[in-house]
């Protein structure tokens, strides 16, 4: 493997990590514009007990949640695999949900697998997300 290929892989891995960290921060602040830019238009989310849903349903749910709760999340990367023009990550998530009106804090944790696709502008975006986070 040439040095350039290795350097490219490292840059792609860093870019994907950055997308996920930006995602967590944008979720905490509910920054609709940033969240929207980090996912493809045809993104699909898979979560336990729900039918698959897309970008607009995800953003609408985030907006509703932002009015009711504060969401703080952290992710530990367990695997990042890049196969141009796609990549996937396997992470462990920990989420703390605090009601804005007071009340009990809920904690959730679990694994997620995310698939990223490189956009025509060269940026990595979330294309598929399977989230297995459950209450702890």
Query: What are the residue ranges spanned by the domains of the chain?
Result: 3-135
Candidates 81, 74, 51; CA nearest to 133 is 74
Do 71 and 94 contact (CB within 8 A), yes or no?
A: no
Region of residue 30 (left: phi > 0; alpha: psi -120 to 50; beta: else) = left
φ/ψ (deg, to 5) at 46: -120, 125
pLDDT per residue over 99-117, tens digit each? Answer: 999 899 999 999 999 999 9
Report residue 4's pLDDT band, with 50, 70 and 90 as the boundaries.
Answer: very low
Q: What is the pLDDT of residue 1?
A: 33
Whole-angstrom distance, CA of residue 100 vs CA of residue 103? 8
Q: What is the pLDDT of residue 132?
A: 95
Q: CA neighbours within 13 Å on the CB side: how many for 133?
A: 20
Whole-angstrom distance, CA of residue 62 vs CA of residue 80? 26
Q: Provide mean pLDDT across the span 110-133.
A: 97
Query: The whole model's pTM is what?
Result: 0.89
CA 40 centroid distance within chain: 12
Q: Provide mean pLDDT across the span 83-92.
A: 96
Report residue 67's pLDDT band, with 50, 70 and 90 as the boundaries.
Answer: confident
Q: What is the pLDDT of residue 65?
A: 86
pLDDT surpasses 50 at 123 = yes
pLDDT per residue over 44-58, tens digit each? Answer: 999 999 999 999 999
Residue that has been written with the tokens 């336990």 in this structure: 48
* Range 3-135 classified under CATH 3.10.450.50: yes
């Amino acid at each position: 493997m040439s040095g350039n290929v290795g350097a490219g892989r490292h840059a792609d891995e860093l870019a994907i990590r950055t997308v996920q960290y930006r995602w967590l921060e944008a979720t905490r602040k509910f920054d609709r514009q940033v969240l929207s830019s980090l996912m493809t238009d045809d993104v699909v989310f898979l979560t336990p007990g729900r039918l698959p849903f897309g970008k607009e349903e995800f953003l609408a749910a985030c907006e509703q949640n932002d009015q009711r709760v504060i969401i703080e999340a952290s992710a530990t990367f367990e695997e990042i695999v890049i196969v141009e023009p796609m990549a996937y990550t396997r992470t462990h998530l920990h989420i703390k949900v605090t009601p804005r009106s007071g009340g009990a804090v809920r904690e959730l944790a679990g694994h997620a697998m995310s698939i990223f696709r490189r956009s025509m502008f060269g940026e990595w975006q979330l294309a598929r997300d399977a989230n297995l986070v459950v209450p702890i």
